[in-house]
Structure 1
Amino acid sequence: MNNNDLFYIRLSFFFSTLICAVKFVAWFVTGSLVILSDALESIINVVAAAFAWYSIYLSNKPRDTEHPYGHGKIEFFSIGFEGAMILIAGFGILIQAILFFFNPPELHALTAGLWLTIAGGAANFLLGFFLVKKGKQNNSLTLHGNGKHILSDSYSSIGVVVAIVLILLTGYKWIDPIASAIAAAIIIYTGFKLMSKSVRGLMDEVDMKIVEELVTILKEQRQPNWIDMHNLRVQRYGSLYHVDCHVTMPYYFSLEEVHEEITKLDKILNSNFQKGSIEFFIHTDPCITSSCTHCQLADCNVRKQPFIQKIEWSKENLLPNRKHSFPE
């Protein structure tokens, strides 16, 4: 985790608090439910930024005996917590919208509320865009998730602005609860997406995009001594990726030669992988007679069968625990 992430999340907390205050002022002067829904989501931004602040602090702590893989998993708790808070806010707004539809509130100073909402929404968009960009650059799930949430808040502010303009033009107060219900639906959808991402990360679900990127690097940088690779597994801990795999090498290699090949594999992947750093746990297998037909070593003095066909590596044959398998 990049130490600058702490600065960015502090920035998020400060501006989210300021934007939240602006939106509550807008609600106070107007009494509009749709503006209140926008303000309530901003409270979630503040709470989420505070939790994200702690998660980044914790994920920056070095490994210890109780956490041998580090503290990076806290990021998935962070986005899960943020998703849960968003869901609570969304359902709360939806309930209020239903109640207010039958009893619309009195509205005041909508023009002032409109400009305050525009200012808050624009600030949220700039902050969210900045955090998403930094999250991608630093491979930080927490920054990226926090930025995505703030961006969704800015998008819902567009709906709030449209609703206020329509009320000003038509005088129909029922537009207020209808618009807040639509905003609640968007908020609930965002919350479910974040919760889903959190669960997938905590359950160590395979990220196929990451696997495909690793497979591409392995195919481009493949060495003749790496006869076969299989049982590839990838787990994420913050910006650290833990990779297990089995590599088949010539059975006559010394321990020093095997270590040299593993070190070479480690350096190749870490120097070409852009999403973070990789920690390897590699199990080496000695080649067997059936390996000869797929072995590309031209100067092998113990070859028992002629070379027939190269096994093209792909996620279909690198992920399963099957030696010398072709993609199905």
Structure 2
Amino acid sequence: MTVFNSETIALVKKELRIITVSLVVSFVLTVAKFAAYFLTHSVAILSDALESIINVVAGAFACYSIYLAGKPKDENHPYGHGKVEFFSIGFEGAMIFIAGILILFKAGQNIFLDRKPDDISNGLWIEIATTLANLWLALYLKAAGKRMSSITIAGNGQHIMTDVYSSGALIGALLLMRFTGWHWVDPAVSILLGVVILVNGYKLLRRSISGLMDETDMQLVDKLIHVLNTHRRDTWIDVHNMRVQQYGNNYHLDCHVTLPFYLPLSDAHEEMKSLEHLVTKEWESHGEIEYFIHSDPCLPTSCRICKLLECPVRSFAFEQLLTWDRENVLPNKKHGS
């Protein structure tokens, strides 16, 4: 039976409260935007309203994904349930992509049928009010997602911020129509918004697929390498075959570390624990991290990159310290051999 610890329960409850705020606000704003559409029959405003529906649907899906991602590891899910967050942003991306297609279809229809919007004054004020509310919501979610290392909340905030940008462009177009009477601006802006929405939907889908396929996040790798280079010990002769995987707020790191071959097993174990403690301390802001670190014995040719000058069995003189980077840390190759 799955058991939740108190910290996990508190974190999940906090994330659920945040995403519930997003869900409720998005629902209210969606109703307001559809009211603006029925007042004006502007296809551009309809485009904005359709995108807002996605905010509501994605928020509802995110509620479940946050609950599931917060569940602890069990026998059937030894790495936890965090991968569901990538399903969440993938679902959101797919919904955004569909909305973009619908918007383009509706805009094209209005161009061929030469439909003109009604008086847009009332709709303009509603759009301004909903855009300001969305701006507050997006900033709130992005800050909360960064603070809690939640890709679901941060992704939801990023999506709503995109909605703010598109709504801002829409307000500009409505103002232009209001003062010039250029009705062709309405479908033109709708097409532009549709393309922007399609691009953002693709980006979320791309991020979802990369996470589900365990694509390496090079920014995380660079941070880890920087930490190891900054705090390296002389006994850590080499690091290679590094892999970093993300499971929601949890990360899994495995790598090989070359140590002096003559170290007793207990000393080698302490070296590995020291490395783990070092990374854990530097990683606190990202979330929890677990390790699978394999220790390799050094070879005589490793002496050329080994800075342990008091080594009692040195075969070759030290030549140059190997600075770890992506090129030599990620491949499964022991260096100096």
Residue equivalent to 2:315: 304
Given that 1:91 and 1:184 are in contact with CA atoms closer than 8 Å, whether structure 2 keeps it comes out as: yes
Q: Which moved more, 1:218-227 or 1:157-166?
A: 157-166
Mapped pair 1:47 → 2:61: no
Return the alpha-carbon distance in structure 1 between the equivalents of residues 286 and 258 of structure 2: 27
Aligned to 1:253, the other structure's residue is in SS state: coil
Task: Map 1:1-328; keep pairs closer than 5 Å.
Answer: 2-3=11-12, 4-273=14-283, 274-324=285-335
Aligned to 1:320, the other structure's residue is in SS state: coil
Return the alpha-carbon distance in structure 1 between the equivalents of residues 124 and 323 of structure 2: 60
Amino acid at match of 1:52: A
Q: How far is the alpha carbon of 1:31 from its aligned partner?
A: 1.4
Q: How far is the alpha carbon of 1:5 from its aligned partner?
A: 1.8
Amino acid at match of 2:118: H
Q: How far is the alpha carbon of 1:105 from its aligned partner?
A: 3.4
Return the alpha-carbon distance in structure 1 between the equivalents of residues 22 and 96 of structure 2: 17
Given that 1:247 and 1:282 are in contact with CA atoms closer than 8 Å, whether structure 2 keeps it comes out as: yes
Deviations 1:97-132 (A, max 9, x none): 001112243533411110001111111111112111
Aligned to 1:231, the other structure's residue is in SS state: strand
Q: How far is the alpha carbon of 1:251 from its aligned partner?
A: 1.5
Return the alpha-carbon distance in structure 2 between the equivalents of residues 325 and 259 of structure 1: 23
Given that 1:104 and 1:173 are in contact with CA atoms closer than 8 Å, whether structure 2 keeps it comes out as: no
Given that 1:101 and 1:177 are in contact with CA atoms closer than 8 Å, whether structure 2 keeps it comes out as: yes
Task: Show structure 2 runs of 5+ residues with no match.
Answer: 1-7
Return the alpha-carbon distance in structure 2 between the equivalents of residues 41 and 312 of structure 1: 48
Return the alpha-carbon distance in structure 2 between the equivalents of residues 272 and 196 of structure 1: 28
Given that 1:317 and 1:325 are in contact with CA atoms closer than 8 Å, whether structure 2 keeps it comes out as: no
Q: How far is the alpha carbon of 1:325 from its aligned partner?
A: 5.2
Return the alpha-carbon distance in structure 2 between the equivalents of residues 158 and 289 of structure 1: 65
**Count of residues paired in the alignment:** 326
Q: How far is the alpha carbon of 1:304 from its aligned partner?
A: 2.6
Task: Show structure 1 runs of 5+ residues with no match.
Answer: none
Return the alpha-carbon distance in structure 1 between the equivalents of residues 323 and 169 of structure 2: 51
Return the alpha-carbon distance in structure 1 between the equivalents of residues 191 and 75 of structure 2: 49
Given that 2:305 and 2:336 are in contact with CA atoms closer than 8 Å, whether structure 1 keeps it comes out as: no
Aligned to 2:232, the other structure's residue is in SS state: coil
TM-score, length of structure 2 as denominator length: 0.93
Residue equivalent to 2:4: none
RMSD of Structure 2 on Structure 1 (CA): 1.5
Return the alpha-carbon distance in structure 2 between the equivalents of residues 53 and 180 of structure 1: 30
Aligned to 1:241, the other structure's residue is in SS state: strand
Deviations 1:253-285 (A, max 9, x none): 222111111111000001012322221101111
Amino acid at match of 2:326: K
Return the alpha-carbon distance in structure 1 between the equivalents of residues 272 and 42 of structure 2: 64
Q: Which moved more, 1:248-257 or 1:9-18?
A: 248-257
Return the alpha-carbon distance in structure 2 between the equivalents of residues 214 and 111 of structure 1: 54
TM-score, length of structure 1 as denominator length: 0.95
Q: How far is the alpha carbon of 1:137 from its aligned partner?
A: 1.7
Given that 2:131 and 2:168 are in contact with CA atoms closer than 8 Å, whether structure 1 keeps it comes out as: yes
